[in-house]
Amino acid sequence: MPMSQKKYKHLFFDIDRTLWDYETNAVDTLTEMYYKRKLDSYGISLQGYLDEFYYWNDFYWERFMAGEVSKETLRDDRFFKTLDAFGIKNPELALTLSADYIEISPTKTKLFPKVTETLAWLKNKYHLHIITNGFNEVQFQKLENSGIRHYFERIITSDSVGYRKPHTKIFEYALTSANARKSESLMIGDNWDIDILGAKEFGIDQVYFNPHRIDHPEKATYEIYHFEELQNIL
């Protein structure tokens, strides 16, 4: 069924890797930190530092999502482990890097191509909202600094709700907050398991933003490879 026949009223967006270009912004953040803290003086190469951080960041995010570690453990231990990989036992430096990352990353403003233009086009036709598993202290800043905060009416964070996507409770909270019905709601996100299957399990339609054309076992309601393709199906 063409989306125009579905009469959607409420669009719910993920932030990281959907609107905000995580990969580009993370490299910029980590590179700035590398030179700010003179990590080369410890014998660490920039690429080695990036590779180790990505490994441990993914490691702890998976455990955080599974409820196995706290937010604080995620934030700090990824840097303890990154330094430890180079034989550096320096808790003070690890905590400094952890604080740097939280401070610097939301100041980076790279969005995916055509995000701003597409949101401006959608804003006149739909109610736009956010559902994110990111932390309050960085996600609001990302939206503000990137110049897109004003497009969204409701910003639902797992920090505030106490449940993370793909749990149905966060979707339920979001729709209740927006006074939206399932039949008139649409979730747009990049993560198959968290955004798409979470929304499908809850019972709302989905747009899978898949710029890397990742294979997946079943169909989302819609799939796009470029953000502006939303205009073709809405």
| CATH number where 198 lies | 3.40.50.1000
pLDDT in tens, the chain (234 residues): 345 566 899 999 999 999 999 999 999 999 999 999 999 999 999 999 999 999 999 999 999 999 999 999 999 999 999 999 999 999 999 999 999 999 999 999 999 999 999 999 999 999 999 999 999 999 999 999 999 999 999 999 999 999 999 999 999 999 999 999 999 999 999 999 999 999 999 999 999 999 999 999 999 999 999 999 999 999
12 and 115 share one domain: yes
Contact 142, 15 (CB under 8 A): yes
Residue 85: which domain range? 23-107
Question: Given the DSSP bridges, would you call strands 10-13 and 127-132 parallel, antiparallel or unpaired?
Answer: parallel
16 and 132 co-located in one domain = yes
Assess whether 9 and 39 both reside in one domain: no
Whether 14 and 31 share a structural domain: no
Indicate the helix (H) or strand (E) that contains 79. Answer: helix 71-84
| Number of domains within the chain | 2
Q: How far apart, in whole angstroms, are the C-alpha atoms of residue 165 and residue 133?
A: 6
**Which of 71, 90, 107 is a domain's end point?**
107
Whether 90 and 15 have beta carbons less than 8 Å apart is answered as: no
Helices then strands (H, E): number in the chain? 10, 6
Query: Do 34 and 60 sit in the same domain of this protein?
Result: yes
> Do residues 117 and 229 both lie within one domain?
yes
**Same domain, yes or no: 78 and 171:** no
What's the pTM value of the predicted model, to 2 decimals? 0.94
